[in-house]
Structure 1
Amino acid sequence: MRPATLARLAVAGTRTDTARVVLTGFSAALATLAVLAALTVLAIPEVPGDAWAQAEQYRNNLLREPGLRGGTAFALLLLTIPVLALAGQCARLGAPARDRRLAAVRLAGATPGQVTGIVVAETGVAGLLGALAGLAAYLGGRDLLHRPDERGLLPLPTDVLPPAGAVAAVVLGLPVVAAVASALLLRRVTATPFGVVRRVRRRGPRPWPGLLIGLGLAAFAAFRPVGLWFERQQIEPPPWLPPVLLVGGGLAAMIGVVAGTGWISYATGRLLHRYARRPAALLAARRLAADPWAGSRTFAALLAAMLFGAGAAGLRAYFTAQDELYRRIGAESAGGGDFYLDTMDLVDLAVVVAMVIAAGGLVVALVEGITARRRTYAALVATGVPRATLGRAIAWQSLVPAVPAVAVALTVGLLLARGVFGSPTAGGYTMTSCDAGGTLCTDPATEARYTRTEWVPRVIVPPDVPLEQLALLGAGALAAVLVTVAVGLLFLRAGTAVEELRTT
């Protein structure tokens, strides 16, 4: 297949295909910005000869202190999770029509490699253009945000750049990953065009994601006991163990929450079908039971943001309790909690950004669902079903699995934070002191007379459950679902026109 033919087939399609390409490029641009920001934080040079010396040119302690830069970069990388989920949802936009078009190309005589080339060309070029746009925005923003204050301190690390090789790896690697993922998603179409058929699910999902959630919680809960065991044995833990417990446990819990939405959708669909009496609820119930995994695809980015936000809320509660502990025992570092609480404000901002990105993914997923089922909706309208009933059915279908799924994500995120940090504790040990001067305290003949041993009582301050912050997160998530439902309903009238019955 000649390159010109490959390019023409890659850009062929309807306005839905154009929107998919544009949104794929936009997702790649966001991911590029997040990764380059993390690399910039890691690129801040250390002072030669002193690995713990602060970078005095910055105002923010997250950038000044070397020990905090790794966590800051990790938090920035976490922002790529909802972005990648958004990219996956964008790839689903108009997927049935694209599958049929590629199947037609395959029936016309194209080889599996040629069809894969079409997919790679579409997604890879869109991802490359998006990554280049993200790089341009990064470089332009670096110049615009380079604003030292009256003391010459910088608010952001605009005086450093990541290594050129790392920048090139990001700009070129993200499109390659996107192209490979798209090729894997369409492997059934490329292998045989007859794979584009509707598969009927004979049994519902099983609650196996609960095992992943339990595994993630167990990994986080074991983090401190394992560290204490190695400390008592006076040996260093393997360097791979803490990252495996934290990263592996977090990923297991997140996958469990997202995948568990399929079981939640199926179970709530069956309950709704049993007890509902109105047409809209019954339509939503049948749809939830027929395609329970739609909830996992739709709410993936939102649930990841909820999990991260609930963990941040639990961490804020821990810092507040730690500050209260310092006040109770009269420690001089009681004000140190202010720095950590101020840092949590930045984390909360990152959660808000992730929720906004997730809301965009919800809009894409909902519009894709309406577009993919427009013939079904048009047939229902043609047989007399009011559009208002269809709109209420879509609202039921979105909210019914969203409410328990958001509750599970918030609970798991809070438990993960509690598992790692627990309750701030002080005391619980004996302390020996001498009430005389240095001469009498160091003389063996008089030391015992002036030395006293007393028990320092154990003080534990359990962190409060951040109900207010969790309620705000949950309300924000459900508000995002309602807004996206309202936006999706704008496409319902166009998608239920009688002409859509002739759509191929």
Structure 2
Amino acid sequence: MSPGTLARLAMAGNRTDAARVTLTALSAALATLAGLAALTVLAIEKPPGDAWQHSEQYVNGLLREPGLRGGTAFALVLLTIPVLALAGQSARLGAPARDRRLAALRLAGATPGQVTRIAMLETGLASLAGALTGLAAYLVGRNLLHRPDANGQLALPTDVLPWMPAMAAVVLGLPLVAAVATSVMLRRVTTTPLGVFRRAGRTGSPRPWPGLLIGLGVLAAAMVEPIQWALKGARVDWLGIVILIGIFAAVMGVILGTGWISYLAGRVLHRHAPSPAALLAARRLTDDPWASSRTFAALLAAVIIGAGATAFRASFLLMAQIEREESRAAGYGDDAGPLNSFYLTTMDLVDLAVAVALTIAAAGLLVTLVEGIVSRRRGYAVLVANGVPRATIGASILWQVLAPVVPAVLVALGVGYTIGRLFSGGTGRDGRTPGVPVEQLALLGAGAVVAVLITVGLGVLFLRGNTAVEELRAT
């Protein structure tokens, strides 16, 4: 099969396929922008002088201070996590129709390897188009936003350009990773002329072993100060590596642990179900508890980062309060100092990034819910034909989502705040410790749950059109 034929077959399809390609390209564009922004921050050259010499051409302290640029770039990279999760969830859109199209290609004589390459090429080309769009938006925005103020300072680092090979690695690496990920996801799929079959994957009920990963993350946060003293003067930034490993372990522990939470919630609902809708949800949760880990991964990651940021904000507020008290005692007035004001402003930017991440995660959840309704439309149509009200099916979807997500969000809040409290120290110069910011944590958790509720409400709107009696003839 020639490359041209492969490309034409990869881009063929209906409106659902076009929507999947569009969402994949949009996700790749957003991820490319975040990656290029991180590279731009790292590309800022150190001015002449000592190691702590500031780059005075920038307004924002995050760009001026060399010690803060690494954290800023890391935050931008973290922002790609919900974007990549959205890309993965978008790839599942219209999966039944795509499966039938791949089976038709096998019937026409295509080999299993050719069918896999077609699926890989579809994702790769969509991601490449999105990455090139993101690169174009970055270059155009760089010129449009290069506006020095009256003091000649810049709000963004539009005066530097990342290393060209690094930019090429981001723009070309994302489509390559997307294509390879598609191949990995298809490793358990067998495409035959009669249909697409998935070999059995995980069997049995989930176990609570992801709690060990959470414990590893908390332990890494608790050992930051001893590690810092033990590795003082080392050439390699082992402390940064330990912090990254700890955060990653905690996030993965919460995400993977959601499968166990879903299974447990399904068992509890099955035993104490207050309604038929809860019974339907209980059966769905126990049959596929791992679906919640896939669905809520980006949302829970954003909640963990947001809870950790809340702990840092509480620590900075305590330091600002101590400085004000010391300033009043010395007769200098009520001034918290520019340093703490800078830290609090930085936390405002972190909160904005968390809000953006939650929004992107909610968009991915909406895609997953709509795809689930469309792929199970024949089963739902059978229930409606047998007399089950659509309201009951809609309520079962709500139970299926809320039963695991509420406890998972609570766990994410606790883990994120604990790690943030350990990293920030949580103790002022006079020995005082900040109180637990219950209101901020409650607002973050409620915001995540409300975002899920809004997403479920929008997804259920597709229920009526996909439960018509005509859907009984769907294949």
Q: Which amino acid in structure 2 is aligned with residue 222 of structure 1? A: M
Output the CA distance in 1 between the equivalents of 2:325 and 2:31: 45
Kept after mapping to 2: 8 A contact 1:270/1:285? yes
- Verify the 8 A CA contact 1:370 1:491 in the aligned structure 2: yes
- Identical amino acids, percent of aligned pairs: 65
| Match 1:299 to one of 286, 296, 315 | 296
Alignment-derived partner of residue 8 in structure 2:
8
Q: How does 1:121-132 map onto structure 2 within 5 Å?
A: 121-132=121-132
Is 1:494 matched up with 2:465? yes
Partner-residue secondary structure (3-state), 1:196: strand
Q: In the TM superposition, what is the alpha-carbon distance from 1:277 to its structure 2 partner?
A: 3.1
Q: Where does residue 275 of structure 2 map in the other structure?
A: 278
Q: In the aligned structure 1, how far is the partner of 2:20 from the partner of 2:286?
A: 27
Q: Which residue of 2 aligns with 1:111?
A: 111
**Which of 310, 313, 323 is the equivalent residue of 2:310?**
313
Deviation at 1:190, TM superposition (A): 5.4
Contact map agreement 2:254 2:411 (CA 8 A) in 1: yes
Query: Secondary structure of 1:460's partner?
Result: coil
| Secondary structure of the structure 2 residue equivalent to 1:36 | helix
Give, in whole Å, the separation in 2 of the partners of 1:88 and 1:326. 47
Gaps of 5+ in 1: 427-458
1-structure distance, mates of 2:191, 2:387:
41
Partner of 1:460: 431
- Asked if 1:352 corresponds to 2:355, the answer is yes
Deviates more, 1:84-93 or 1:194-203: 194-203
Distance apart, 1:424 and its partner CA: 2.6
Q: Is the 8 A contact 1:20 1:94 kept in 2?
A: yes
Residue-by-residue CA offset, 1:165-202 (whole Å, 9 max, x unaligned): 22111111110001110111012235878871474975
Computing the radius of gyration from Cα coordinates, the structure with the larger value is 1
Using the TM superposition, give the Cα deviation of residue 56 of structure 1 relative to its aligned residue in structure 2, in angstroms: 1.6
Count of equivalent residues: 468
Which stretch of structure 1 is more off in the superposition, 106-115 or 121-130?
Answer: 106-115
Residues 89 and 361 in structure 1, CA contact (< 8 A), matched pair in contact too: yes
Aligned residues of 1:276 and 1:282 also touching (Cα < 8 A): yes
Displacement of 1:244 in angstroms is 2.7
Q: Residues 364 and 297 of structure 1: is their aligned pair in 2 closer, same or farther, counting only changes over 3 Å?
A: same
Which stretches in structure 2 are left out of the alignment for 5+ residues?
A: none
2:387 is matched with which residue? 384
Q: Conserved in 2, the CA contact under 8 Å of 1:25 and 1:131?
A: yes
**Aligned partners of 2:190 and 2:197 also within 8 Å:** no
1:67-106 to structure 2, matched below 5 A, reads: 67-106=67-106
SS in 2 for 1:186: helix
1:8-47 to 2 correspondences below 5 Å: 8-47=8-47
CA distances 1:37-57 after superposition (whole Å, capped 9, x unpaired): 111111112213544322222
Once the two structures are overlaid, the 10-residue window that deviates more, 326-335 or 380-389, is: 326-335
Cross-structure match for 1:161: 161
Taking a change above 3 Å as real, the CA distance of residues 379 and 493 of structure 1, as seen in their structure-2 partners, is same
Instruction: Name which of 394, 398, 402 aligns with 2:401.
Output: 398
> Would you say 1:411 and 2:429 are equivalent positions?
no
CA distance in 1, matches of 2:437, 2:199: 45
Note closer, same or farther for the CA distance 1:355–1:156 as it changes in structure 2 (3 Å cut).
Answer: same
1:263-274 mapped onto 2 (5 Å cutoff): 263-274=260-271
Residues 150 and 18 from structure 1, CA distance in 2 versus in 1: closer, same or farther, beyond 3 angstroms? same
Q: CA deviation at 1:136?
A: 1.4
Paired letter, 1:338: S
Aligned: 1:255 with 2:252: yes
Give the CA deviation at 1:494: 1.4
CA contact (8 A) 2:27 2:130 kept: yes
**Preserved CA contact (<8 Å) 1:325 1:461:** no
Quote how far apart the aligned CAs of 1:149 are. Answer: 1.9
What secondary structure is seen at the aligned counterpart in 2 of 1:354? helix
Cα separation, partners in 2 of 1:380 and 1:191, compared to 1, 3 Å: closer
- Per-residue CA deviations over 1:291-313 (Å, capped at 9, x if unaligned) read 11111111111111101101111
Structure 1 residue 229, shift from structure 2 partner: 4.1
Aligned-residue CA RMSD (Å) = 2.1
Counterpart contact for 1:99–1:189, Cα < 8 Å: no
Closer, same or farther in 2 for the Cα pair 1:227/1:50, shift >3 Å?
A: closer
Q: Over residues 280-339 of structure 1, what are the superposed CA-to-partner deviations in whole Å (9 max), with x where a residue is unaligned?
A: 111111111111111111111111110110111111111112223444556999512111
Measure the CA separation in 1 of the matches of 2:316 and 2:89.
36
- Checking the alignment, whether the CA contact within 8 Å between 2:190 and 2:199 is kept in structure 1 is no
State whether residues 106 and 190 of structure 1, in contact with CA within 8 Å, keep that contact through their aligned partners in structure 2.
no
Give the residue type in structure 2 aligned to 1:256: G
- Residue 204 of structure 1 pairs with residue 205 of structure 2: yes
User: Deviation at 1:3?
Assistant: 2.5
Question: Does the alignment pair 1:366 with 2:369?
Answer: yes
SS at match of 2:53: coil
The letter of the residue matching 1:473 is: L
Match status 1:243 vs 2:240: yes
Distance in structure 2 (CA, Å) of the matches to 1:201 and 1:155? 50
* Distance verdict in 2 for CA 1:198–1:164, change over 3 Å: closer
Q: After the TM superposition, which residues 142-221 of structure 1 pair with which residues of structure 2 at under 5 Å, given as runs?
A: 142-189=142-189, 196-197=197-198, 199=200, 203-221=204-222
| Correspondent of 2:453 among 482, 485, 488 | 482
Q: Distance in 1 between matches of 2:354 and 2:258?
A: 21
Task: State TM-score, norm by structure 2.
Answer: 0.93
1:104, 1:203 → 2: CA distance? 34
